[in-house]
Every structure is written in structure tokens, then in C-alpha cells.
Amino acid sequence: MEFDVAVIGWGKGGKTIAGALARAGKSVAMIERSTDMYGGACINVACIPTKALIHSAEIRPEKSFDPDYFDQSVERRDSLTEAMRGKNYSMLADLETVTIINGTARFTGPHSLLVEAGDEALEVTAETIIIDTGSIPRLPEVAGAELGGRFHTSVTLQHAPLPEHLIIVGGGYIGIEFASMFAQYGSEVTVLDKNPRPLHREDWDVAAEVFDSLADSGVRLVSGATVLRLCQETDCAAVQYLWNDQEQTVRGDAVLIALGRRPNTDGLDLAAAGIETTETGAIKVDERLATSVPGVYAVGDVNGGPQFTYISLDDSRIVLDQLTGSGTRTTADRVAVPSTIFTTPPFSKVGMTVEEARAAGHTVKIAVKKVSDIAAMPRPKIVGDPRGIIKIVVDEATDLILGAALVHVDSQEVINLVALAMRHGVTASELRDTIYIHPSSTEALNEVLASI
């Protein structure tokens, strides 16, 4: 079958491009290998289901081990993701110019694909091809590191029974979020990370606030742990690791492997199209997300950029700008991209830490306050969680904001405002003197920025 555009993978960037081009009258093939993944990872297995589970954990006053409550939360999560999957399906299926093809695609030439589903195969050709096949978990290169049974990825763990003791290997985004969440469902949680401390790139006072909130929930963080081997025993799983030159073993009901995710190019046969990859296995793209083959673009996790849904979405803007706009958007014009780790309370950041700002040659002013010491920020007290810290790094010479780290209730909202200020050259003084809603978390900026 011949199309104007073929999109491989229903991720955020791919589906946005598919919808926009189809509405512009192009014939579009959306190729997705799993009917459970209409809408992509974010709504089905990643951002949305995890945040739904986190929310249910947070609103529960009792933090004791309660598998029934967990099961109810899973049901609530599933009804939410099912509804979103249906909506995502309709958003493309209802467009006359879109053909949805269920199957796994691989390249047979620069502009031709073979889509296979069981015994069936379909040839697809298109002038424009968008690759949006996401990422897959990295496994440790140690004995016994095979998934299945008690060893989980973030996806399978969400569908397993609530573990009494969860061991998490890796203290990054997924490791920390799952630790915070499962501890609030009453699981005993141990996190093993190889770095001297998790969040090692963050300023110590900021990281300490996150560690304190994890410790409040009973999470045990083991830093500087080198995992040696994993094994499944009859009634438990065991992780052996080296810590302070001594071999240690921790046993639990389930192990979550959260060591990062690699671009998913498996089985795409990129070589058949002449599409180049980088040393880290990502599809090689330029600043306009064009691959080494004209007319073929890669968006989302598979191109090796930051692994966030909103980056995949921004990738779609860049590609659409090539195909239907002025062609001026590039990845280089991204400024102040924020991120949030959804602990309780959430940790959000944008721009540079103090150390990074100094290393970049800035003389900095630091506005920093613990949330409990901020008089004009009643919102965390209203919702019953006055933990955290607000830290804003300001360039002394220009009064521009270089970075911010926010650990507090609603920080995933407030960080967007700080990022917008950074993008548009709003000074720290202007942000300090702005009128904010009361009571809100944003109004803390009045007081915190007045401290410098």
C-alpha cells in the first residue's frame, strides 16, 4: 500500500504528526504493533498510569500494607488508561485520511516497510516516514539479569501483586518515583544505586529534601552499590551487591530494574534503509530531526534526546515545521526545559544548579528557603504537606534566572512559570514583584526571591 506518510509507533510525537498531516489532506498510515498501546507508552504504561497510582497512594491517610487498596487503585488506573486509549484511537481512526495498521514494521528500503502481524505481512511505501518507536529498559550486565518471575520493568511491576518488600535497582526517575509510591502503599522499599548518592547532579540541600521525604515513607536508599548478581529463590528474589568493598545481599518479593532506557530500534532493520545510528544506539538525527535518509525523521525517545513525553511532542513541532511550516524550528532553540520527579512532594527543576552555574562562569545570587519557613506560602500547609525547599539561582550581573529547584506540593506547576520566565528573559526582580493568586504555591516566589 502506498501512502504520503507512514508513522511507525503511536508515541506522542508520531500521533501528533499523523493527526496534523491527515487533517491537511495527506494519506497517513499509523503502524502500531500492539492494540494495547494505541496512544503510546505515556498514556498506557508510563506517565499517566504511574501518576494515577501515585495520586491514589498520596490521598490514602493510612500508609500500612494494604493489597486491597492497591488493587482498587489499579482498577481506577486501568479505567482511566482504557478511556484515554479509546480517545486516542478515535482521534486518528475518525480521520478519513488515516489508515491504522496493526503490526510490527521493519524497513526493506529507504521508503518501504514490511509490516508483520502473525502470519500476515503488508508492504507499505511512503515518501515521508516518521519513526517513533520509543525506548526499552536497560538490563544490568550481571549474572541472573533476566526479566520475568520476580524481576520486573516499570511496566510489569504495575501489573504484579503489591510486594511486601520491593527492591529497586537504580535510583533515577523511575526508581525514585516507584520507591516513593510503593512505600506509600505500605511496601518496604530498598533502592540500590551505583552513584555516591542518587540525584548526584543536584545541589546537596535540594537532594536532601527529597531523601528526607523518602525516608519519611520508610524508603531505604543504598548509594554506592555495585550490583553483582541477581537470583530468584523459591520464595523470594535476591540481589547481591558490593558496598564499601563488602558483599551484601538483600532479599525481597519483587525486584524493579530501573537503570535507564535505551532507544528502541530492535527489529527495525535500519540498515536496509541506510538509516544511521549513534554510538549509543539511537537513530542519528540532525537538529531538525532528519535521519541520514531524506524524508525519514525520528521523534521521541528513539532519537536519543531527553526521554519525556513533552520532548516527543516538541519533536513533532520541529518535524511539522519542516513539512508544513517555515522550517526554522530546531532542537537548538529549546531553552529551559523543566522536569519533575513525582515524589511526594514532587521535585521539579529547570536550568542550572549552583555548581553548574559557577562552573559556567556565572557569579550567582542564591534565593533559598525551606518551605516550612516561607510565611507567605500557606498552600502546602492547607493540603497538609509543608515539606520541601525552594532554591533559585540568579545571575548577579543580569538578574536573570539561571536555574531553579523546587521540592514542594504543586512544584510540577510552578516550575513551568519559572521556565517561561527564563525563556523570555523575565528577571528575578520582576518575578519577585509579580501579583500571584493567594493562596497558591506560586506566591512563594514573592518571598523567596525577596531574600536576595
Ligand X SMILES: NC(=O)c1ccc[n+]([C@@H]2O[C@H](COP(=O)([O-])OP(=O)(O)OC[C@H]3O[C@@H](n4cnc5c(N)ncnc54)[C@H](O)[C@@H]3O)[C@@H](O)[C@H]2O)c1
Q: Look up residue 193 and give its DSSP letter.
A: -
Q: Let me know the angle formed at the C-alpha of 339 by 336 and 345, rounded to the nearest 5 degrees.
A: 135
Check the annotation: does 175 bind a ligand: yes
d(CA 334, CA 310): 12
| Residue 378 lies near ligand X (rule: CB under 6 A) | no
Chain positions 129 to 148 lying near ligand X, rule: CB under 6 A, are: 140
Q: State in angstroms the smallest separation of the CB of 106 from ligand FAD.
A: 6
CB of 107 or CB of 182, closer to ligand X: 182
Cell 485520511 maps to which residue?
97
3-state SS, residue 211: helix
Of ligand X, ligand FAD, none, which one sits near residue 184, judging by CB under 5 to 8 A according to partner kind?
A: none
Binding residue (CB under 6 A) for ligand FAD from 300, 345, 346, 351? 300
Angle between helices 47-58 and 173-184 (to 10 degrees): 30
Check the annotation: does 38 bind a ligand: no
Chain positions 51 to 80 lying near ligand FAD, rule: CB under 6 A, are: 51
DSSP assignment of 282-316: PBP--TT-B-SSTTEEE-GGGGTS---HHHHHHHH
Check the annotation: does 388 bind a ligand: no
Q: Is 152 a catalytic residue?
A: no
- Which distant-in-sequence residues (6+ apart) come within 8 Å of 172 by Cβ? 193, 198, 258, 259, 260
| Residue 347 lies near ligand X (rule: CB under 6 A) | no
Binding residue (CB under 6 A) for ligand X from 3, 211, 297, 308? 308
| Residue 408 lies near ligand FAD (rule: CB under 6 A) | no
Check the annotation: does 118 bind a ligand: no
Q: State in angstroms the smallest separation of the CB of 182 from ligand FAD.
A: 13
226-232 β-sheet, strand order: 226-232, 237-243, 246-252
Site mask for ligand FAD (CB under 6 A), range 171-190, x = bound: ---x----------------
Sign of CA dihedral 178, 183, 185, 187: positive
Of ligand FAD, ligand X, none, which one sits near residue 393, judging by CB under 5 to 8 A according to partner kind?
A: none
Q: Helix and strand tally (H, E) in the chain?
A: 14, 22
d(CA 350, CA 46): 22
| Residue 50 lies near ligand FAD (rule: CB under 6 A) | yes
Nearest residue to 416 (alpha-carbon basis) of 336, 304, 308, 361: 336
Q: Which residues are annotated as a binding site for FAD?
A: 51, 133-135, 301
Q: Which residues are annotated as a binding site for NAD(+)?
A: 170-177, 260
List contacts with ligand X (CB under 6 A).
Answer: 140, 169-175, 177, 192-195, 198, 227, 258-261, 307-308, 339-342
List contacts with ligand FAD (CB under 6 A).
Answer: 8-13, 31-34, 37, 40-42, 46-47, 50-51, 104-105, 132-134, 154, 174, 264, 267-268, 300-302, 307-310, 312
Q: Which residues are annotated as a binding site?
A: 51, 133-135, 170-177, 260, 301
